[in-house]
Amino acid sequence: MSELKGGASRRGVNIEISIGKQRLRLWQGGQLLMDVAVSTAKNGPGEETNSERTPRGRHIIRAKIGAGCPVNSVFVARRPTGEIYTPELGARHPGRDWILTRILWLCGMEPGRNRFGRVDTMRRYIYIHGSPDHVAMGAPGSRGCVRMRNAELLELFERVAAGTPVDIHD
């Protein structure tokens, strides 16, 4: 069995995200490895394209993006721009939806609920990603993605693999 950094084994690793509690929990074989505050969609839960809502149901991590990039690296269309987020950069671009540090790109696993057609999580570009330090966690505020603190995202990124199950519920 292959090992992940931090001693977590690939077998039995899964992520649970509670929209109601604004929490992300990482489990391995029934043992809680992480329990952190996140920020899901300001518009609440929902699966429809262009709704800016966080999709519910069973997902997997389809891709891990950003390994080796510096903390606070700015991503646009899943590619690092070469920018490093600072409060000054944020002030110059006040309306920008900041996707920082790493991306865990989610793919729905339930046809008709969060996969295919107008409810496809992956085609909606729903991620677990980092955010500027001043962004509040523990309260809805994103445009559909799951925002995390950068340090916690780095830890999660090292502990999971592509294919890791992610369950998002109310």
Q: Could you tell me the CA-to-CA distances from 105 to 28, 87, 108, 164 in Å, in that order?
A: 20, 26, 10, 11
Q: Distance (Å, rounded) from C-alpha 16 to C-alpha 10?
A: 16
Three-state SS for 100-139 is EEEEEEEEECCECCCECHHHCCCCCCCEEEECCCCCCCCC
Per the structure block, which two tokens stand in for 119? 């409810």
- For residue range 8-42, what is the model confidence (pLDDT) as tens digits? 445 699 999 999 999 999 999 999 999 999 999 99
Q: Name, in order, each residue with C-beta under 8 angstroms of 92's C-beta and a sequence gap of 6 or more.
A: none
Domain count, the chain: 1
pLDDT of residue 55 exceeding 50, the answer is yes
Eight-class DSSP state of 28: E
- pLDDT for residue 3: 39
Nearest to 53 by CA among 65, 61, 45: 45
Confidence of residue 6 (pLDDT cuts 50, 70, 90): very low
Q: 60 lies in which domain range?
A: 5-169
Predicted confidence (pLDDT) at residue 75 exceeds the cutoff of 70 = yes
The enclosing domain of 68 has a CATH number of 2.40.440.10
Tell me the C-alpha distance between 129 and 87, whole Å. Answer: 18
Which of 3-7, 37-41, 120-124, 138-142 has the weakest average pLDDT?
A: 3-7
- 14/7: higher pLDDT: 14
> Which pLDDT does position 95 carry in this prediction?
87
